């Protein structure tokens, strides 16, 4: 007789109901009480359908139990015992997959010396001080980057170009020329380029701010919080903290630049984990539209590395902020905690990733000398090179990369319910921690699963209390 068993899903409760997050389809399904009882019963082991109905018939009408069994089989939450586990989609993206985003590292110089910096700090991949890469990207190289993006974005009407560094604004003349060139070339081709940049804000001046606003450049400011937090790691080469320098400039930027929402990006370290205080300072006191937090990328053993207790503290505060975000969203109000918004968008879109991020897929980084790399963090690394702005993208090399990095090879992730969202995590983190981009970031699993669970709960609550809000994630 057929025995039924549970298949792969993650259960979460929200808004007084029970939901299943189905792996690997990444669908979300709310179940009623009889279905919930079936799931609980099968959690104890495989069972024949007739026995399930019989065992639960005192609690629920038979027709509801049979409906529940049918529905759970249709959504593949349960199935024949012993059937092979479904794995992630095995397909590689089609040949010539469009590049949506190009990140130009317009300089590898920086006027700050942040202790944890992945470019200059202890865990750097490329020693830019002795490489043959120029310190500043030339106009020609940036324009080749624009041409490459326009060509490789294929049928897409909108492509994205991001300026990165070092400190991006050290090469302001090239930014100006590239934006003007890119706009003109895109128009000639009937396309559009959206520009953005990341800066440490030390070099913002009134004319630069004016230019950013007029040209609708998206701006992300790297900042760690109020003075005592910012000055701990984000220091000038002299060791002097940068808060006093950046604070008035950021205020001016936020006052004048209203054409794009401006975000802050915070690096969390062992000593910098008062997330509520940082969030409050950057939004209420400084006026950023949104704030994204990322734990520092570091090899094991650095004294700023976040350890277990730190992760717990971080998760607790993320959870609290996520629930604050929820209460705002229920009332259609803005809340600037971007981590929750980004994950909710992926959940809503039913994203089931074969790769953790766009690096090497729809996103590429370009070094100051014009080498095309996996992403901005690998720019100028010969081992992670995909061609040049002049010769174009080496699609064979890209294909090999995608073959080698598909989540199907990350066997540790095959039984993990969070893999549709995580897919093994950032390649740069893996490279820094384990020396290879193919490794899954197993030191992060607990954090990833707990955070994804929180976001699922928030998603379930919001879908019950203000479902219209979720439609803004449809685009
Ligand atoms: S790295 Fe960990 S959390 Fe991420 S998919 Fe793999 S097993 Fe899951
Ligand atoms: S590899 Fe890491 S740093 Fe690079 S784009 Fe992906 S998530 Fe970002």
Instruction: List, in order of start, the domains of the chain with CATH numbers.
Output: 4-84 (3.90.930), 101-388 (3.20.20.70)
Q: Which pLDDT belongs to residue 125?
A: 58
Q: Which pLDDT belongs to residue 88?
A: 61
Q: Which pLDDT belongs to residue 298?
A: 72
User: What is the number of the ligand 2 atom nearest to the C-alpha of 375?
Assistant: 4
Residues 6+ apart with CB under 8 A from 467: none
Which ligand sits nearest to residue 378's alpha carbon? Answer: 2
Helix (H) or strand (E) holding 186: helix 172-188
Residue nearest to atom 4 of ligand 1 (CA): 424
Q: Is the peptide bond before 223 cis (omega within 30 degrees of 0)?
A: no
Q: Ligand 1: distance of its center to the CA of 450 in Å?
A: 11
Q: Ligand 2: distance of its center to the CA of 7 in Å?
A: 31
* 363 in Cβ contact with 99 (< 8 Å): yes
Tell me the average confidence (pLDDT) per consecutive run of 10 residues in the chain, 475 residues long: 93 97 93 98 97 98 98 96 76 86 96 80 59 92 98 97 97 98 98 98 98 98 97 94 98 97 96 96 98 86 83 96 98 98 97 94 96 92 92 94 94 94 94 93 94 98 97 90
pTM of the model: 0.94
Residues 6+ apart with CB under 8 A from 192: 157, 158, 159, 186
Q: Is 442 in the pocket of ligand 1 (CB under 6 A)?
A: yes
Substitution candidate for ligand 1 out of 355, 424, 427 with most atoms within 8 A of CB: 424
Q: Which pLDDT belongs to residue 121?
A: 59
Residue nearest to atom 1 of ligand 1 (CA): 424
Q: Which pLDDT belongs to residue 123?
A: 59
CA angle 460, 466, 470 (to 5 degrees): 70
Q: Which pLDDT belongs to residue 302?
A: 78
Q: Which pLDDT belongs to residue 129?
A: 60
Which ligand sits nearest to residue 292's alpha carbon? Answer: 2
Q: Is 185 in the pocket of ligand 1 (CB under 6 A)?
A: no
């Amino acid at each position: 007789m057929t025995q039924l068993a549970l298949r792969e899903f993650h259960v979460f409760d929200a808004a007084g109901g029970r939901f299943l997050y189905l792996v690997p389809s990444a669908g979300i399904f709310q179940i009623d009480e009889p279905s919930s009882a079936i799931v609980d019963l099968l959690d104890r082991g495989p069972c024949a359908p007739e026995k399930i109905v019989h065992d639960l018939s005192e609690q629920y009408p038979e027709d509801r139990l049979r409906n529940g069994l049918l529905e759970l089989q249709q959504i593949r939450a349960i199935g024949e015992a012993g059937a092979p586990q479904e794995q992630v989609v095995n397909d590689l993206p089609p040949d010539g997959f469009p590049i949506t985003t190009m990140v130009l590292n317009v300089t590898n110089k920086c006027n700050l010396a942040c202790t944890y910096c992945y470019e200059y700090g202890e865990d750097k991949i490329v020693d830019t001080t002795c490489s043959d890469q120029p310190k500043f990207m030339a106009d020609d190289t940036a324009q080749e980057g624009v041409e490459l993006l326009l060509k490789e974005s294929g049928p897409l009407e909108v492509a994205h170009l991001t300026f990165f560094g070092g400190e991006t604004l050290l090469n302001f003349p090239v930014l100006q020329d590239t934006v003007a060139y890119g706009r003109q070339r895109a128009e000639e081709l009937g396309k559009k380029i959206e520009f953005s940049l990341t800066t440490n804000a030390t070099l913002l001046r009134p004319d630069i701010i004016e230019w950013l606003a007029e040209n609708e450049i998206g701006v992300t400011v790297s900042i760690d919080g109020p003075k005592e937090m910012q000055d701990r790691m984000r220091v000038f080469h002299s060791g002097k903290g940068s808060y006093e320098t950046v604070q008035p400039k950021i205020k001016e930027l936020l006052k004048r630049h209203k054409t794009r929402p401006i975000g802050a990006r915070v690096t969390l370290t062992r000593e910098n984990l008062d997330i509520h205080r940082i969030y409050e300072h950057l939004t209420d006191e400084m006026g950023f539209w949104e704030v994204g937090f990322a734990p520092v990328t570091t090899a094991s053993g650095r004294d700023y590395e976040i350890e277990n207790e730190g992760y717990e503290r971080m998760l607790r505060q993320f959870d609290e902020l996520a629930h604050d975000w929820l209460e705002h969203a229920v009332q259609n109000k803005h809340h600037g905690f971007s981590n929750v918004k980004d994950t909710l968008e992926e959940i809503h879109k039913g994203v089931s990733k074969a790769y953790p991020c766009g690096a090497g897929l729809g996103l590429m980084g370009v070094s100051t000398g014009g080498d095309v790399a996996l992403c901005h963090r690998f720019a100028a690394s010969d081992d992670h090179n995909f061609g040049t702005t002049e010769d174009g993208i080496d699609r064979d090399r890209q294909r090999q990369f995608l073959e080698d990095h598909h989540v199907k090879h990350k066997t540790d992730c095959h039984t993990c319910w969070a893999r549709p969202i995580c897919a093994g995590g950032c390649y740069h983190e893996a490279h820094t921690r384990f020396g290879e981009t193919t490794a899954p970031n197993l030191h992060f699993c607990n954090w990833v699963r707990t955070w994804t669970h929180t976001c699922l709960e928030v998603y379930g609550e919001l879908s019950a209390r203000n479902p219209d809000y979720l439609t803004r994630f449809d685009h």
